[in-house]
Amino acid sequence: MQGFLALFTGDTGEIRAEVMEQIDTKVAEWREERKAEIVPGVLFIDEVHMLDIECFSFLNRVLENEMAPILVKATDQGITRVRGINYKSPHGIPIDLLDRLLIISTQPYTEEEIRKILDNSCCARFPKISTQYLVEYQNQFIFYEVPGEVDGVETMRV
């Protein structure tokens, strides 16, 4: 309870070793009794090239643990300097950690792909839009289109 309250009071600090041991003992007991199951999670790190060598060293050790989370890293950097040391590496990630990663290159969506995604999303989320709302929506466009014609400004097309 005290740890939960610390979230709201802004208190910081480390969990004492004896408290950690009690937690580990209780978790082990619950696992034996099949009251609990530990499921590894997913850790997403954006802008991973901003981490320094100490952070990468820590992540390397964490990945050795049997309960290590699935680690997803994102960056837009090519070959760049690894922070904290003086050598360059792809994506700013040390080579020893980079060897353990699966690199998936992504590309921006094309206009046609975006159109298909929006079509599918709209069909799935809004299957029954009432005619009343569509008429009101259309009237808003007409409202903005008429002054454009009067002022000689090109009208908006949808």
CB 148 within 8 A of CB 154: yes
Write down the residue that tokens 């014609």 correspond to. Answer: 149
- pTM listed for this prediction: 0.55
Could you read off the pLDDT of 77-119 as tens digits, one per residue? 889 999 999 989 999 999 999 998 898 888 888 999 988 888 8
Q: Is 12 exposed, middle or buried (0-12, 13-18, 19+ CB in 10 A)?
A: exposed
Predicted confidence (pLDDT) per residue in 24-70, tens digit: 899 899 999 999 888 889 999 999 999 999 999 999 998 888 888 89
pLDDT at residue 16, as a whole number? 85
